Amino acid sequence: MVSTPNDRSRPGQSDPDQPGLDDVMEPEDDALPSRDRSYHGGAKPVDDEELDELAEATEEERVDAGVADYAPSEVPPATDALPEGASPEAERAQRGLDEGGDEA
């Protein structure tokens, strides 16, 4: 006997010879975080700390990949901190400013 489209079971009808989706297991503890769909696109707002961590990780990946020579966030300051009680003139001199306020 030749099978016709009307002889076949329709989607949504169970066929005892075909596996169904009734026995599919749902994961109990999904590793992915649940999405909060109250924000546009389902994405949660990102705070400044997460952005800073992402920027630092990106810098390190660029160095590891050879795209950048160094990660700017890992470069120490060029000068030592002034001791407490230092005069404002010393602070201006350390920043490279002359007395008139113009950069030298």
* Amino acid 40: pLDDT: 59
Cβ atoms 58, 52 nearer than 8 A: no
CA angle 35, 41, 45 (to 5 degrees): 70
* Amino acid 104: pLDDT: 44
1-49 per-position pLDDT tens digit:
555 555 555 555 556 676 677 777 676 666 555 665 565 555 667 788 8
CA distances for 85 relative to 39, 89, 95, angstroms: 49, 11, 17
CA distances for 30 relative to 21, 27, 42, angstroms: 19, 6, 18
* Amino acid 92: pLDDT: 85
59-95 per-position pLDDT tens digit:
999 999 999 998 888 888 777 788 888 888 888 888 7
48: left (phi over 0), alpha (psi -120 to 50) or beta: alpha
